[in-house]
């Protein structure tokens, strides 16, 4: 019965997240709702069985796989250099950030590296869970990054790109 309540709380949070137009609203909303209920101890939130993690990775991998098309691979002909450069910069800054966060703030190294790694909150949280990192810390780090990017990037882009310029 606790699993059913957990799913209903997650569903309510997901609907609220989508209604509020949060970034990744269903994911963030359900995570926050279940997390708050768990923190407040309103009802016992059970740890999902191990098979659920596999199922979530399967679903996520399938969804991401549907985004790969023939056009994606054709675009690589022109975009492989910028994609490779962006990837190297993102991974390099993520590793450097993770090292500094670990060293300066005392967060365990694996958790810090996954918390600062380029990637989405769901992807990196699943990887953290799989690798034995502090998953809740990774989630919070990515959620803070996601919200910051959503707030700051449009403002910076408006400053850098004037209307009518390319």
Map tokens 């600062």 to a residue: 116
Residue 165 — very low, low, confident or very high, per pLDDT cuts 50/70/90? low
Handedness of CA 61, 67, 69, 73 (dihedral sign): negative
Instruction: Measure the CA–CA gap between 7 and 48, rounded to whole angstroms.
Output: 11
Judged against a pLDDT cut of 90, whether residue 85 lies above it is answered with yes
Give pLDDT tens digits for 93-120: 999 999 999 999 999 999 999 999 998 8
d(CA 32, CA 35) in angstroms, rounded, equals 5
pLDDT at 12 over 90: yes
- Contacts for 128-132 with beta carbons within 8 Å, 24 or more apart? 129/53, 130/53, 130/57
* Cα–chain center distance at 6: 21
Please state the pTM of the whole predicted model: 0.62
Listed by start position, the domains of the chain span: 1-49, 80-166
Whether pLDDT at 164 is above 70: no
Asked if residue 163 has pLDDT above 90, the reply is: no
Whether the predicted pLDDT of 9 surpasses 80:
yes
The pLDDT of residue 151 is: 74
Give 1's pLDDT tier (boundaries 50, 70, 90).
low
The mean pLDDT value for 42-61 works out to 83
Q: What is the pLDDT of residue 142?
A: 92
Alpha-carbon radius of gyration of the chain: 19
Residue 19 in this model has a pLDDT that exceeds 90: yes
Burial class (CB in 10 A: 0-12, 13-18, 19+), 122: middle
Residue 71 has pLDDT above 80, yes or no: yes
């Amino acid at each position: 019965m606790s699993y059913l309540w957990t799913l209903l709380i997650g569903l309510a949070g997901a609907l609220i997240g989508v209604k509020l137009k949060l970034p990744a609203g269903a994911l963030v909303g359900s995570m926050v709702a279940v997390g708050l209920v768990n923190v407040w101890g309103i009802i016992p939130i059970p740890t999902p069985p191990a098979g659920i993690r596999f199922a979530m990775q399967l679903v996520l991998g399938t969804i991401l796989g549907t985004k790969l098309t023939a056009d994606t691979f054709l675009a690589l002909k022109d975009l492989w250099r910028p994609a490779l450069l962006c990837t190297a910069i993102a991974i390099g800054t993520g590793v450097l950030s993770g090292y500094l966060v670990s060293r300066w703030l005392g967060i365990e190294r694996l958790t810090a590296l996954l918390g600062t790694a380029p990637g989405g909150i769901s992807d990196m949280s699943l990887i953290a869970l799989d690798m034995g990192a502090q998953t809740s810390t990774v989630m919070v780090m990515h959620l803070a990054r996601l919200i910051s990017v959503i707030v700051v990037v449009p403002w910076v882009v408006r400053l850098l790109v004037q209307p009518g310029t390319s």
